[in-house]
Structure 1
Amino acid sequence: MAVVTGGAGGIGRALGRRFGQEGMKVVLADVRKEPLDQATRALAGEGIEAAGVVTDVTDYSSVESLAKETLDRFGAVHVVCNNAGTGAVSEGYMWEHDLADWRWGIDVNVLGVIHGIKAFVPMLLGQGDGHVINTCSGNGGFAPIARGAMGGPATAVYPMTKAAVLCLTESLYTHLQMTGTRVRAHVLFPGGFLNTGIWESWRHRPQRYAPTQKRRTPEHTLADVVARFEAAGARIEFTPLETVADQVVEGIRADRFWMMGPPTPAEDVVRRKATSILARSNPDYLVDVLSQSAAKTPATEGGKH
């Protein structure tokens, strides 16, 4: 059976459906009750045995309750997807970011994964097998995007948290290996553009993370991002969420740590970053979302900008 946080929509809902198609029982967890109920009913309508549990991943007691309720209802857990996440809501340069934005991003994207590991891994170890899949992103997992779709500096909050998710998952993989268990850790890089609610996370921002600074610009929607790309002569092709879910199922079967799709040009940043580290050179591999180099200032003598 599978547990998926952030299961009310987007990748999480697609994962729940895909696991159900494999004959697994599914628990979808999300902080939003109404969309969660809709997602659960949709799976049940397809003949999938599914339950929805309202869960706040920023609160460990809530995740602990999710684990207990899952075990009480189904008796075991085989796959845990720490998938809940919040997107970019900050504006301006990173020293201008609202501290509430940092707290929200860290609590959901980092602590949410830590809470999932803390609550479920001991259960999996007790069973002797299972899989933990943590959702990452090339934005941070590879390198932070430097320039955003709307033309200004991209938020530093989101990529910082996704870099942490990668490090957490690498550490989890090593720690599990040291125990000799058959429990496995995996990191998911969905890849490409995804038509999910994470672009508009601000719509369901909890009051306890309410902004403490007045915004200078309006909140952006996915439609704004698409319009910006089209104005620049670029065309957005969304990666089907079903493709991402297939990627996870295939990765579990292959016992693959890196759950990634086919190679893309975006992965060149990994090679360039490694080269920069080994050469002790400046990070000229940072890019904007239109794949333009973020290093606009020409180099002067001595290699300095």
Structure 2
Amino acid sequence: MATMNDLQGKVAVVTGGAGGIGRAMGRRFGQEGMKVVLADVLAEPLDEATRALADDGIEALGVVADVTDYSSVESLAKEVLDRFGAVHVVCNNAGTGAVSEGYMWEHDLADWRWGIDVNVLGVIHGIKAFVPILLEQGEGHVVNTCSGNGGFAPIARGAMGGAATAVYPMTKAAVLCLTESLYTHLEMTGTRVRAHVLFPGGFLNTGIWESWRHRPTQYAATQERHTPDTTLEKVVDRFESAGVHIEFTPLETVADQVIDGIRADNFWMMGPPAPSDQVVSKKAASILARGEPDYLVDVLGKSAENTSESEGGKRR
């Protein structure tokens, strides 16, 4: 057990820290008396987020870092050590959302590269740069942000109707596998450094719905787009038109999950049991029965099998 009951004076690093879950985690760490390092590729929002923490009396450092570039993550780790001399919690949280359209064989290859480089290689880079530091210290926690969309099972139909992107769930499934492997590798060394996977749960009011607004030039689309870019407003409108009321999970609740998970040394950082948990049971049953993947759902929570005929995808 590597439980940190007293976080006072410890150092936390959060990638994707300029907004959303990352910013909420940074604030929550600061409220525990931790020194907080927010890292993000977006300089202006990062500066604003860091200043907001400082205004609340939290010792905070903002570092512009690109998780797709290992040298940038190495530089982040060096800057953290130069400033604070240690690091105790590393949250590999930076992520990019769904920007693809159409069926997966129609996805732009640039979409695949962007998603993989941020959501998968970004976590790998964080592990490679920071875990040796934690091992040398003899304690620490690595928290990798996952999603039920991929971590449990891919959503079959998207928020705007039609096929959901395959890029995002594929990368989040990889994050879960990476974290399970990290847990095992750390256990084999006998270290007190621990690995955790964070499932935020529910719907989150974050910028990941509109990742296209900050698409880097090196991942510029190579195909002409045929449908409008997704916005959170459009997603909410679709739900309301379907008679479904959206309840957003407070980002503070997600940040509390992380604090509680560290203290309890829980590998699975998740909220209380929810209807979405049934996907896990149905998936396990499908595997054991060697059956069809009847656990797949659309973003409205309906069975993809039940909606296939009405939406022009009748199974033959």
1:125-274 pair list within 5 angstroms: 125-274=135-284
Letter in 1 for 2:96: T
Letter in 1 for 2:65: T
Deviation, 1:220, is: 1.0
Deviation, 1:17, is: 0.2
Structure-1 separation of matches of 2:215 and 2:159:
21
Deviation, 1:106, is: 0.1
Letter in 1 for 2:144: N
Letter in 1 for 2:268: W
> Equivalent residue of 2:304, what SS?
coil
Deviation, 1:259, is: 0.1
Q: 1:73 aligned to 83, 96, 99, which one?
A: 83
Structure 2 unmatched runs, 5+: 1-10, 310-314
Q: 1:11-63: per-residue Cα shift (whole Å, max 9, x none)?
A: 00000000000000000000000000000000000000000000000000000
In structure 1, the partner of 2:293 is 283
1:111-122 pair list within 5 angstroms: 111-122=121-132
TM-score scaled by length of structure 2: 0.94
Query: Identical aligned pairs, as a percentage?
Result: 84
In structure 1, the partner of 2:98 is 88
- 1:19 lines up with 2:29 in the alignment: yes
Aligned-residue RMSD, C-alpha? 0.9
TM-score scaled by length of structure 1: 0.97
In structure 2, the partner of 1:62 is 72
Q: 1:99-147: per-residue Cα shift (whole Å, max 9, x none)?
A: 0000000000000000000000000000000000000000000000000
Structure-2 separation of matches of 1:271 and 1:114:
29
Letter in 2 for 1:111: L
- 1:51 lines up with 2:61 in the alignment: yes
Count of matched residue positions in the alignment of Structure 1 and Structure 2: 300
Structure 1 unmatched runs, 5+: 299-303
Moved beyond 6 Å, runs of 4+: none
> Equivalent residue of 1:195, what SS?
coil
- 1:99 lines up with 2:112 in the alignment: no
